[in-house]
Structure 1
Amino acid sequence: MGRNTRKRRTPLATKAIAASAALALGGGGLIWANFYASAHESDRGQNRVKTTGAQIATISCPDVGEQLRKVPRRARNGVARELASLDKQITEAYARLASTRRAQEGDPAFVQNAILSPLKSKRVATIDRIGINVRRAGGTTPRWLGKLAECKGMGGDEVNNGGGQSPPASGEPSQEPSVDPSQDPGQGDGGGDGGQVGDNGNGAAGPFADDFVDITTVEPNTPPSNGNGFAANGDSGSQGSFTTVCGVNENNKFNTDNLIVAPGVDNGAHHLHDYVGNQGNDAFASDEDLANADTSCQNQADKSTYYWPVIRVQDGTQEFDAGELGGGLEGNVGRVVKASQAEIRFVGNQQGDVVAMPRFLRIITGAANAFTNGDANANAAWSCTGFEDRQLRDKYPICPQGSQVVRTANFQSCWDGQNIDSANHRDHVAFVQQDGSCPQGFQAIPQLQIRLVYDVPAPVIENGQIQAPFAVDGFPEQLHKPITDHNDFINVMDEDLMNQVVECINTGEDCQ
């Protein structure tokens, strides 16, 4: 498998910091103590930290970035630097956790006194600086933000049971569901189905047998589609569509960056992405860079970037990134499989016309940390060709012979009319309400729908072990759970093409 190349930090230069951990940007997330120490170890099993229920296996910290709803534009750079400091602090605390196992065995209070308490003190100071940045720019932060400073150690039994973050404290805002109720493909709550921590027989922590289900045993749970696998957008309102053909990453453009969440941060995603459309997307790309880049789309006026975590088959293949951060050093192992079909289209709104998306609008749908931090923002949908009236939210499908795995993402389709992004990368867009209308203050934009089809071998389950499973790339602590699937988009269509998209949708035409 080839890849696009760009100079990166070498794994050896960063191994002490990140070879054992995948960090959720924003100062939160779960740091995984079951680490991949080196690509050169001859006996991986001897290098794994035992995660018994009595031992602290991980450090779990609330995600500060997710709770920052309105950060003034003048404060965003300063806040971003402080969020990066939170990430660094968790990294350092994890490194100390992993290197002091003998001391922990002799002193039950060691982790609390020597690791968690100093970490809390550092986080208190950093969160205070975030507040100062925001207030200097004329904004406000929640009074309870300081409560997010405290982290906790989690034992192996808690990790097995899904772990994750506690609900917000009294008076704190809960996460609004980010799944369109009228198109929710969900099944289950995504909280974690147990399983085991450690090696699943394929050299990786997850997925496990309980993460898969025979699609033929699932009852139909969604309305019929419009015949081509996409969700129908109702029989009123703006009924047209626009399809853009951008290939299946034939150029082998891969990287582990995330320009939306972590601009300017190398390996900001901690997992590998497929890219179609814009060929200039990396962590360091400006809007001008995107506008001047090449595109894989047939319509050269569409320089939008469409990207998603790769799927791998854990069959023992040593992929090109087996010894790199974001790849094998962070638990993403096996053969990368590109989609055999990548169908991208925009549809309308059930209640009325849509307006043009602003150029460089950024949208993330789904949640990479849904397993540990809850499923409020989850938007995963898995199925099989021929069975797409049966959508799975927290399971991977085992498809019958002749059927292929299908992975679908329906994006938010309401825009606040002002911003191309927001502090938590979510508040500037929203899903439609139950009746198909946009929330107050939002206006309907073309809804992006991406349907990916994969030729992957059906995994086999024997004696509770899954053999050669496929799984989505992700943070190690997420155990490659299907509910963590997510998808990213930056609109870089030129104005004339976007106007054409809107006209096709509002006049009921199906255009390409």
Structure 2
Amino acid sequence: MGRNTRKRRTPLATKAIAASAALALGGGGLIWANFYASAHESNNQTWGGNQTKAATAQVATISCPDVQQKLTSVPYRARQGVATELANLDRQVTEAYNRLASTRDAQAKDPSFVQNAIVGPLKEKRSATIDRIRIDIQRVGGTFNSALSQLAACTTQAANQTTAGGNNGGQQQNTGGQQQNNGGQQQGNTGQQGNAGQNIGGQAGNGPVAADFVDITKVAPNVQGKPRRQQSASTGTFTTRCGVNANKNHNTDNVIVAPGVTNGAHHLHDYVGNQKVNAFSSNQTFLQGGTSCQNRNDLSAYYWPVVRVQDGSQDFDQNADGGGKEGNVGKILTPVQAQIKYVGSPASKVVAMPQFLRIITGDAKTTTNGLANANAHWSCTGFENKVQLTQQYPICPQGSNVVRTFAFQSCWDGQNIDSANHRTHVAFADPASGVCPNGFKAIPQLTMRLVYQINPPTIQNGQVKNAYAVDGFPEQLHKPATDHDDFISVTTGGLANRIANCVNNGQNCA
């Protein structure tokens, strides 16, 4: 979502992402996995039930520039209006993708259908919405970057243009830049519909596909070492126990990116910690929300997209917005473990997190944005110190569980609890040294480890049976790299200072 150079991946991380493609094809090399570095049509060939099929070269999804990434400065008085319009942009893409998915027969008969009936009208809607964002900003005296008006046009992506599997390694870092100049490819893409009147895999027709999975036992070790600790390092840890969302506290809102907008996430979240988090929550309601954490002073909101197994089953939201109506289908899995731990900096002491600090890590739209802000870590128990995956889901051996790990940004600008694109107020430390960028202060780094018991999927003849996938925006095709995590720091009783002191003093607290 953010584009500022302070948080772009280092050259090492960029090389690492390309290496993951080689690993998927049986090659060697290292991929980035450093916690200090671094979201339906019935026809003859519809695949449902418990199988997904590898996608062919048909139009797979709609690729729209992410306007929010470019919004680095929005006056406070305009933020609610801008957030509402950004949510409208997401809704428009969702509606266009659903139309794309439900008109495969029409696309096969008319090569211009996608452009005339879907992409063209979508551009008009987005143009009007971006103009309303301009009005909201300028009305309160803010400055609007006129270049944002050029982000209205969307393109289409074939299956082999997305970050599926590891089949386009060299293209991944350029995806975002290609979105503006591949309009000429649209007619060629749509012209391929004749041999591809079908869904893009998955129980709901929008992924995942076989290329999104890899047998972890066949991936070469790729975990990098951590930065060497300096004399002033903060070496302690603070663990907070907040449960696994066994009480099924779910919703499809996202109060950080879409405040005041119901279903602003377009996918379902698990919530632990604060128990009253929805689109209409405020700092005041957070303080009154109660908590699932054993430490009653920890009222922080920890939330992430649910994981589902696509075995043909349906869950409570099969016919709901953010659920089955938007391609998020299958049985919702509750983690068997959810470890939340704050760790220190290898380079310095840390300062306490400010009250109500918001952090989003990862990017829910990497399928169309590219991998610049991806921060997904997928592995298996017994392999976590050897293999971490960003672009593929692991197939774990019998007796091993699937593990999702997040390492949040650990540097704060010292002033803001949020920013217009929800990224520029925080940053990752340098992956080699652990040092924060100039102007940023080290804060306790939030890390999360979620463990799931999942029967290993199997792949036969290009099909994956009993796939699992993370919830996401429907046009993102359930790619592993779209995994992301959200956090709002809310503490009472001096807990934020106690966490920082514990970490700075080298203690292991809980």
Instruction: Specify the TM-score bucket, using the shorter chain as the normaliser.
Output: 0.7 to 0.9
Q: For 1:120, what is the secondary structure of its paired residue?
A: helix
Candidates 124, 133, 137, aligned match of 1:130: 133
5+ residue gaps, structure 1, are 1-34, 172-194, 225-230
Tell me how far apart the structure 1 counterparts of residues 468 and 101 of structure 2 sit (CA, whole Å): 29
- In structure 1, give the amino acid aligned to 2:83: A
Contact 1:233 1:239 in 2 (8 A): no
Match for residue 239 of structure 2? 243
More divergent stretch after superposition (106-115 vs 67-76): 106-115
Match for residue 272 of structure 2? 276
Match for residue 440 of structure 1? 438
Candidates 85, 88, 100, aligned match of 1:82: 85
Match for residue 415 of structure 1? 412
Residues 246-291 of structure 1 deviation map (CA, whole Å, 9 limit, x = unaligned): 1111222111111111112222111111111111111121111111
Contact 1:204 1:333 in 2 (8 A): no
Quick one: structure 1 residues 342 and 197, their matched pair in 2 at CA, closer, same or farther if it must change by over 3 Å? farther
Q: For 1:349, what is the secondary structure of its paired residue?
A: coil
Quick one: structure 1 residues 100 and 464, their matched pair in 2 at CA, closer, same or farther if it must change by over 3 Å? closer
Q: For 2:494, what is the secondary structure of its paired residue?
A: helix
Give 1:472 shift: 1.2
Paired residues in the alignment total: 442
Tell me how far apart the structure 2 counterparts of residues 57 and 391 of structure 1 sit (CA, whole Å): 27
Match for residue 334 of structure 1? 330
Give 1:127 shift: 2.4
Give 1:242 shift: 0.6
Match for residue 208 of structure 1? 209
Candidates 498, 502, 505, aligned match of 1:507: 505
Q: For 1:319, what is the secondary structure of its paired residue?
A: coil
Match for residue 147 of structure 1? 150
* 2:307 is the alignment partner of 1:306: no
Q: For 2:302, what is the secondary structure of its paired residue?
A: strand
Tell me how far apart the structure 2 counterparts of residues 307 and 332 of structure 1 sit (CA, whole Å): 17
Residues 437-457 of structure 1 deviation map (CA, whole Å, 9 limit, x = unaligned): 111111111100001111111
Tell me how far apart the structure 1 counterparts of residues 204 and 154 of structure 2 sit (CA, whole Å): 29
- In structure 2, give the amino acid aligned to 1:349: S
Q: For 1:417, what is the secondary structure of its paired residue?
A: coil
- In structure 2, give the amino acid aligned to 1:137: V
Provide the identity percentage. Answer: 57
5+ residue gaps, structure 2, are 1-39, 49-54, 181-195
Quick one: structure 1 residues 370 and 321, their matched pair in 2 at CA, closer, same or farther if it must change by over 3 Å? same
Tell me how far apart the structure 2 counterparts of residues 412 and 511 of structure 1 sit (CA, whole Å): 21
Candidates 456, 464, 470, aligned match of 1:466: 464
Residues 19-69 of structure 1 deviation map (CA, whole Å, 9 limit, x = unaligned): xxxxxxxxxxxxxxxx369xxx9x9769xxxx9867x66543212122111
Contact 2:94 2:475 in 1 (8 A): no
Q: For 2:332, what is the secondary structure of its paired residue?
A: strand
- TM-score (structure 1 length as normaliser): 0.77
Q: For 1:421, what is the secondary structure of its paired residue?
A: coil
- In structure 1, give the amino acid aligned to 2:390: R
Contact 1:36 1:328 in 2 (8 A): no
- In structure 2, give the amino acid aligned to 1:80: A
Tell me how far apart the structure 1 counterparts of residues 91 and 474 of structure 2 sit (CA, whole Å): 17
More divergent stretch after superposition (455-464 vs 404-413): 455-464
Quick one: structure 1 residues 409 and 166, their matched pair in 2 at CA, closer, same or farther if it must change by over 3 Å? closer
Give 1:478 shift: 2.0
Match for residue 405 of structure 1? 402
Candidates 453, 477, 480, aligned match of 2:478: 480
Give 1:114 shift: 5.7
Match for residue 378 of structure 2? 382
Q: For 1:290, what is the secondary structure of its paired residue?
A: helix
- TM-score (structure 2 length as normaliser): 0.77
Q: Greater helix share, 1 or 2? A: 2
Residues 464-508 of structure 1 deviation map (CA, whole Å, 9 limit, x = unaligned): 221112221112222221111111111111251111101101111
Tell me how far apart the structure 1 counterparts of residues 62 and 284 of structure 2 sit (CA, whole Å): 39
Tell me how far apart the structure 2 counterparts of residues 439 and 478 of structure 1 sit (CA, whole Å): 31
- In structure 2, give the amino acid aligned to 1:222: V
Q: For 2:384, what is the secondary structure of its paired residue?
A: coil
- In structure 2, give the amino acid aligned to 1:427: T
Tell me how far apart the structure 2 counterparts of residues 57 and 456 of structure 1 sit (CA, whole Å): 27
Q: For 1:139, what is the secondary structure of its paired residue?
A: coil
Contact 1:258 1:283 in 2 (8 A): yes
Quick one: structure 1 residues 297 and 197, their matched pair in 2 at CA, closer, same or farther if it must change by over 3 Å? farther
Tell me how far apart the structure 1 counterparts of residues 347 and 142 of structure 2 sit (CA, whole Å): 35
Tell me how far apart the structure 2 counterparts of residues 396 and 169 of structure 1 sit (CA, whole Å): 26
Tell me how far apart the structure 1 counterparts of residues 41 and 495 of structure 2 sit (CA, whole Å): 46
Greater relative contact order (CA < 8 Å, ≥ 6 in sequence) = 2
Tell me how far apart the structure 2 counterparts of residues 91 and 214 of structure 1 sit (CA, whole Å): 32
Tell me how far apart the structure 2 counterparts of residues 367 and 141 of structure 1 sit (CA, whole Å): 24
Tell me how far apart the structure 1 counterparts of residues 85 and 128 of structure 2 sit (CA, whole Å): 10
Contact 1:207 1:480 in 2 (8 A): yes
Q: For 1:376, what is the secondary structure of its paired residue?
A: coil
